[in-house]
Structure 1
Amino acid sequence: MTIYQLPLAPDQLSRRSRWVALAVLMLPVLLVSIDNTALSFAVPSLSQSLAPSGNQLLWIIDVYPLVLAALLVTMGSLGDRIGRRRILLGGATGFAAVSVLAAFAPSAGWLIAARALLGIFGAMLMPATVSLIRNIFTDAAERRTAIAIWMAGFSAGAALGPVVGGWLLQHFWWGSIFLIAVPLLVPLLVLGPRLLPESRDPDPGPVDPVGIVLVTVALAASVFAIKSVATHGLDQLTVVAAAVGIACGTAFVRRMLRRTNPMLDVRLFANPVFSVSLVVNLVSIFALVGFIYFLAQHLQLIAGHSPLDAALMMVPGLVVTVVLGLGAVPMVRRFGVARVMVAGVLLNAAGYAAVSVTGHTGSAAGLLIGFVLVCAGVGMSETVSNDLALGAVPPAKAGAASAVSETAYEIGAVLGTAVLGSLLNLAYRQGVDVPVTVAGADAEHARATLGGAVEVAQGLPSASADALLASAAQAFDSGVTLTAAIGSLLSLAVAFAAHRVLSSRV
């Protein structure tokens, strides 16, 4: 069959070959989204096996998106130079190998190092998939559909992650979560060289090691500072990290403006359509990840559902993301890009508003309805925002531009947990009432997180345990109303800005 002998030039591909290539590119997309949501369900089991400190547990969760966000622009630019297919397959090889090492990590330190390496190889995967799509699908209508399918893959993976993770955790050890990468990436490594065309920037210019260092340090320091201030407050380390991030970011922008052939054309940000698309991208993922953070805890720790049951309850909302992500394409043809994007962000605001009104009641049904609304909005807005961002750049620069879009996505994911999660934890600590019979380390553990209160309650007499659990649940759900209100107001502000910018331009 001729589809197994594709020409190397993307513009020579037949229509059938383009869609076959997209099917192969969906494998790493599914992997990254499954990996992100499955890990959150493995934290309790992982904590019992490796006994990490509180700080180590945070790094196990955070080091992957931190490294990933720091390297996305660099890897996107590198793919433009050496070949997007080449860097995709290299990232897949490394990700599969390190996933095996992570699965059998004997200590928390080992797992943190493995997660950092996964961030490096993950940064090679995502910009390559988007930039290959941008170059394979040169027709605007086809590209919009392809991007919708790409986003649907993220949503499908997010839906599958908890279900697959919950099933694995009920039958195997926590490390099995990481082994999900192997069956997804092996087919990519086998089929990719035969089904994916190579593409690169025809005039990439010389490698800019100074620029690479500046942008990597700028992103790493900035994301670290944001997470640190949300978690620990404004301490000296946070101020230093923020200063380093700003200084390196400023130096990087000035360097790119001076160079005739920069690794990232920062003039793209002067295009308001490109810039507002990135903001919508970031805020939509911020809303989704922040919602999942407190919904997963409520369903398991307050409503008492198992990880698998909680995951299954979240599936309808995530399926809505897939359906409306694909449905955004015909909606754009009928209503226009601006209306669809703004409607998506308004649905995010409506979902959070519903929770801010009903969250204090502890109603799981109310939370799930809000979750469906947020998922609907994310499906619509993400498809359109990614398409607009990619369509604003020439194909030769697709890798760097898609890396910027993916960086916005990852920073949104980091902030969703760091900002909303930290605000929720702060509200919880201020609202929980620990019985006087609980003292010392147990009292501090119960005040720290909802999970800590549940763990401490297991060793208390029934009367004290009931009192602690009731207070913890009330404090947590009251905190949810605060964070939901913030999420709703932020989404409303972004919807207003998107309407102002896009209504007269697209």
Structure 2
Amino acid sequence: MIVDEVTVKAGPRQWAGLAVLMLPVLLISIDNTVLSFALPEISRNLRPSAAGQLWIVDAYPLVLAGLLVAMGNLGDRFGRRRMLMIGTVGFGAVSALAAFAPSADLLIAARVLLGFFGAMLMPSTLSLLRNLFTDRRQRRLAIAIWAAGFSAGSAIGPVVGGVLLEHFWWGSVFLIAVPVLLPLLVLVPLLVPESSDPSPGPFDLVSILLSMAALTPIVYAIKSVATDGIGVLPIALVAIGLLSGVFFVRRLLAQPNPMLDMRLFRVPTFSGAVIVNLVSVFSLVGFLYFLTQHLQLVIGLSPLNAALVLIPGVVIIIVTGLLAVPLVRIVRPGFVMAAGLGLCFTAYAMTAIIGSSSTVTTLIVAFCLLGAGIGAAETLANDMVIASVPPEKAGAASGVSETAYELGAVLGTAVLGSILAAFYRSSIVIPNGVSAVDAQAARDTLGGAVEVSSALPGGVGEALLESARSAFDSGVTVTSWFAAAMMIVAITVTLLTLRKARG
């Protein structure tokens, strides 16, 4: 449903406001993936388990996904700009604490807090943007820039991490938040007007808890299967998550003015766009998770050189995101998004076919294909979600869009990372002469195997390293085929739900 509204052409002040609102967008999306390049160093210094390493990555987007709709609702109620400012202060302070975390557990705790304050930032940016640009064509361009920044930030994260790790310790990847957020505190009050919903939905604490109870057990179950196999615990956790999800939906449907209007999902265009958003980020984050480790720990590139490999794909994400805007004037957006997901399928299939013989050149090509698909698909998906609601509900709608984004980031690491970890653990062969403690560290992560092998006698260390790299690549092959199959399903859903949507 496209809602009629009074449109006023945006001027220089509004475009300057967009530039300022891009700062938290870039920061939040960079924070989703900046740890990709830091993981090898973190695994060597903090020695997390395989599950702990996945939680270091996933704790942040998981909390973010669980709280985005709630924070969007609070922004609608108390003021979106006010929530943005509170989130800015909290995010900057916790980022500084995370940089100096002395253990894996404390780093995970800091990532949880970053997710809490990050959830205040994201719904505010998109809903404030919706109120800055009331003209439909200008808003589509603004959202394209916003979405391109979101996608590019996720891809830039590893590049930033690579550059920093070339010169500083792993905690430096968190300190980038401070200089980025300081200008926000000064410029937002000058350029971005406050906005809120005159009749917001109720702040529903029970629904918030149910949403977290639906997400967290399922993600934990996926990680548990990766490390310990299928058992009673993961099955019980999945059951708890699904049951909580059912109660969550039923509770919202029963309310006259719910925190999140689930009836929107009855509109094929809305639900299809949300799915495309989720799958796009799933494919990007999952690909980056094993690509960055392969470049550093298998091929042996330095963090900086590995980061440079990603730059062509980052540029393509931005370019295709902007080109998608004029393209939908002549091609229906559903077909453009399906084609984008088709490129993601091609990238994963190419990675799976090439396998352990992957070179830097072939990985650049694969990431460029993936970036082209994500840039187009995610830009249009965000635009279609936001265009489906009136301005006063922009906070809740942006919360849905960004929840899909963050849930995609969580599942990209949890699902693909867990499949990779499971196959790695089952394939690695520990040579004779390795102690039980070192053997466990080598089985947990590839980074652990690299660290252990460097301290072993020449022949034993080389045998362990070769076995670990081979096991990792075999896991990448299986993981890539799984992701490629998911892309086929996503393309089918996109064509079914969005084929009639017009640009």
Normalised-by-shorter TM-score class? over 0.9
Q: Which structure's relative contact order is higher, taking Cα pairs within 8 Å and 6+ residues apart? A: 2
Partner of 2:264: 268
* Aligned counterpart in structure 2 of residue 67 of structure 1, from 50, 63, 68: 63
Moved more, 27-36 or 131-140: 131-140
Question: Is the 1:230–1:418 contact (alpha carbons within 8 Å) kept by the matching residues of 2?
Answer: no
Q: Superposed, which structure 2 residues align to 1:122-161 within 5 Å?
A: 122-161=118-157
Q: Superposed, which structure 2 residues align to 1:26-37 within 5 Å?
A: 26-37=22-33
1:435 equivalent in alignment to 2:431 = yes
* Aligned counterpart in structure 2 of residue 165 of structure 1, from 161, 168, 171: 161
Question: Is the 2:50–2:445 contact (alpha carbons within 8 Å) kept by the matching residues of 1?
Answer: no
* Aligned counterpart in structure 2 of residue 121 of structure 1, from 113, 117, 122: 117
Partner of 2:98: 102
1:369 equivalent in alignment to 2:371 = no
Partners of 2:241 and 2:326 in 1: how far apart? 41
Partner of 1:6: none
Task: Kindly state the Cα deviation for residue 77 of structure 1 after the two structures are TM-superposed.
Answer: 1.1
Question: Is the 2:217–2:237 contact (alpha carbons within 8 Å) kept by the matching residues of 1?
Answer: yes
Partners of 2:418 and 2:105 in 1: how far apart? 24
Partners of 2:228 and 2:398 in 1: how far apart? 32
Task: Kindly state the Cα deviation for residue 196 of structure 1 after the two structures are TM-superposed.
Answer: 0.7
* Aligned counterpart in structure 2 of residue 224 of structure 1, from 216, 220, 223: 220
1:297 equivalent in alignment to 2:272 = no
Partner of 1:5: none
Partner of 2:451: 455
Moved more, 43-52 or 271-280: 43-52
Partners of 2:228 and 2:195 in 1: how far apart? 44
Partners of 1:194 and 1:417 in 2: how far apart? 38
1:19-38 Cα shifts (integer Å, max 9, x gaps): 11111100001111222222
Partner of 1:4: none
Partners of 1:144 and 1:14 in 2: how far apart? 12
**CA RMSD, Structure 1 to Structure 2 (Å):** 2.3
Shift in alpha-carbon separation, 1:280–1:68, aligned structure 2, 3 A: same
1:336-358 Cα shifts (integer Å, max 9, x gaps): 21221111111111111111211
Question: Is the 1:155–1:319 contact (alpha carbons within 8 Å) kept by the matching residues of 2?
Answer: no
Q: Superposed, which structure 2 residues align to 1:187-206 within 5 Å?
A: 187-206=183-202
SS of the residue corresponding to residue 333 of structure 1 reads coil
Q: Superposed, which structure 2 residues align to 1:418-433 within 5 Å?
A: 418-433=414-429
Give the number of aligned pairs: 498
1:254 equivalent in alignment to 2:250 = yes
Task: Kindly state the Cα deviation for residue 53 of structure 1 after the two structures are TM-superposed.
Answer: 5.3
Partners of 1:425 and 1:55 in 2: how far apart? 9
Structure 1 segments unaligned to the other structure (5+ residues) = 1-9
Partners of 1:480 and 1:429 in 2: how far apart? 12
**Structure 1 vs Structure 2: percent identity of aligned residues?**
57
1:280 equivalent in alignment to 2:300 = no
* Aligned counterpart in structure 1 of residue 346 of structure 2, from 346, 350, 362: 350
Task: Kindly state the Cα deviation for residue 433 of structure 1 after the two structures are TM-superposed.
Answer: 2.7
Shift in alpha-carbon separation, 1:244–1:365, aligned structure 2, 3 A: same
Partners of 1:441 and 1:208 in 2: how far apart? 47
Q: TM-score, normalised by structure 2?
A: 0.93
Partner of 2:3: none
Partners of 1:359 and 1:57 in 2: how far apart? 24
Partner of 1:209: 205
Q: TM-score, normalised by structure 1?
A: 0.92
Shift in alpha-carbon separation, 1:54–1:499, aligned structure 2, 3 A: closer
Task: Kindly state the Cα deviation for residue 47 of structure 1 after the two structures are TM-superposed.
Answer: 4.2
Task: Kindly state the Cα deviation for residue 286 of structure 1 after the two structures are TM-superposed.
Answer: 0.9
Shift in alpha-carbon separation, 1:403–1:349, aligned structure 2, 3 A: same
Task: Kindly state the Cα deviation for residue 284 of structure 1 after the two structures are TM-superposed.
Answer: 1.1
Moved more, 172-181 or 244-253: 244-253
Moved more, 469-478 or 481-490: 469-478
